[in-house]
Every structure is written in structure tokens, then in C-alpha cells.
Amino acid sequence: MTRVGSMTFALPHADLLRARGTAVDFDPHLHGTYSVVAVTSGTAHIWSSRWSRTVHAGDVFFFNPYEVHAGRSAGGHAQYDVLYPSEAFLDSCTATLRPDEIRTIRTEVLTGSRTTCELVDALSAPVIDNASIEESLRKVLQECTFSVESPAPTSMSIARTVCRLVRQDGLRSTRTDDLAREIGVNPSHLVRSFKKTIGVPPQTYVRQVRVARARELICAGFGLNDVAQMVNFADQPHLTREFKKVFGVPPGALSRGVYRDRSR
């Protein structure tokens, strides 16, 4: 069960959402953007569909868009900052991609380097300096290893094919039976294969892709009732329940953070 002590958001500009929080547990979830997490206090056990490791204060670790991950602190609340850079921000740090290419961060954790210390210090400063945070983040990303590939849909596994279909049209009512029929497999086989490969059942993935889109719309200034309808949730309480599974707090916390930054 996700247990968050606190969570606040800041959106100095559209290409870099920031979150600051304390947490004990995070159930498996995903984000629609890259995630760069800096641990500022405590120790946590982190699992993702790509790696698993214990991280400590001063460590910086990374998730790719739609990479399922979870975490549990080793005792008490762990404190952390999360930076969600857009593709455009990544383009400014590394090579620009062609439309058919996918960029993947291969680095799992950076620890004890001068650049990670600079990022943690910038995030922990008594007075937030957005320019210092962005510059430190660029340096950290330039230390990461990336791969770039042009995937051929015909060679994708069942799970990867489902992910592609959901992300292409994740806002429609996507039933597991419909997905199985579309790719020509048994629904039970699809569920088993998907959960083994991705880490969550297909319908959980569908809902969290909608949460990822909801986050984008809230950052763009849309109201919560409108967002719930736009991403095909039944109502705002439904959006709130699913949003809390990903961020640990209601979407109003993000909306207030965005409004505060826009009003400055």
C-alpha cells in the first residue's frame, strides 16, 4: 500500500516538473515521462522492471517513461526529490531523436559523484534556484548512458505490443479481451505474459497511462473535473483514487503547485 508522508509540486516551466516528498512505501506504478530521483535523507529499497537496488541519501536514480517501479524505505520516511524532464529537455542534454526512435536511459543509479552532490545540494538549498537545479540536472543526465533504437512492431513481444497499443490510444475504454483479440492471443495468456514482463496487470497499466496523461493536462492548466472526463475516468473521485496510487497525494496537490507557479 502506498504510504506518503508529504508531497509538493513545482512547475517553473513546462519541460521540468518537480516533486518533493517523504514516503514509506510506493506500490508499483509508472509515469509518462523520465524520472530522476535524488534521495536527500534515508534509505530505500527500489524495484523496477529494469533493475533492483538499495539506495541511500545522496544517490540519484532513473526510470524511463512507462517503466513500472516501486519502493519501500528501510526505516521511517525516506525524503526525496523527483525531477520529471520532458523529451525536449532530454534533447537539450543529449542528441535529438528522429520521430521513429526511442531513447532509453540505461543507467540505474549514480552515487558519490561531484555531479550528484551538486544536484542534491541545489535541491536542498534553503532558497530554491531553478537555474542551478536545471544546470545540475543537465550535468547528471550527461553522465548517464543512453541507448537509441528504432523498434520494429512486428518483432515485439506480446507485452510490448500491448504497451504500444495502450499508449497509442490509452484514453479509450480498453478492455483486456479487446486487446487480446487485436493481437490474436488468449486473454488469460495476455494477462500472465503482460504482468510477468511489465510488472502490473494490463488494466492497471491502462489506468496509469491515463494518470500520466492527466498529469500533463493538469500541468497545462485544465481543471480537475475536465481532466477526469478528458482521460476517460468515470468522475473526479475516480481520477483522485488512481492519481493517489501513482503520486501518493490527490491531484489537487499538483493543481495547486501549478497554479502557484503560474501566478508568480
Range of lowest pLDDT (62-71, 72-81, 178-187, 216-225): 178-187
Amino acid at position 142, single letter: Q
pLDDT at residue 153 in the model: 46
pLDDT in tens, 237-248: 999 999 999 999
The fourth-level CATH superfamily of domain 3-149 is Jelly Rolls (2.60.120.10)
Residue 31 region by backbone torsions, left for phi larger than 0, else alpha for psi between -120 and 50, else beta? beta
**Torsion angle in degrees (nearest 10) through CA of 245, 250, 251, 254:** -110
Range of lowest pLDDT (47-51, 98-102, 135-139, 197-201): 98-102
> Helices H, strands E: what count in the chain?
10, 11
**Closest listed residue to residue 40, CA positions, set 113, 105, 122, 115:** 122
According to the CATH classification, is domain 153-263 in 3.40.50.150? Answer: no
pLDDT at residue 154 in the model: 41
pLDDT in tens, 100-139: 678 899 999 999 889 999 999 999 999 989 999 999 999 9
pLDDT at residue 179 in the model: 85
pTM: 0.88
Read off the pLDDT of each residue in 178-206 and give the average, rounded to a whole number: 88
| Residue ranges per structural domain of the chain | 3-149, 153-263
**Torsion angle in degrees (nearest 10) through CA of 7, 12, 14, 18:** -30
Give the pLDDT band of residue 155 (cuts 50, 70, 90).
very low
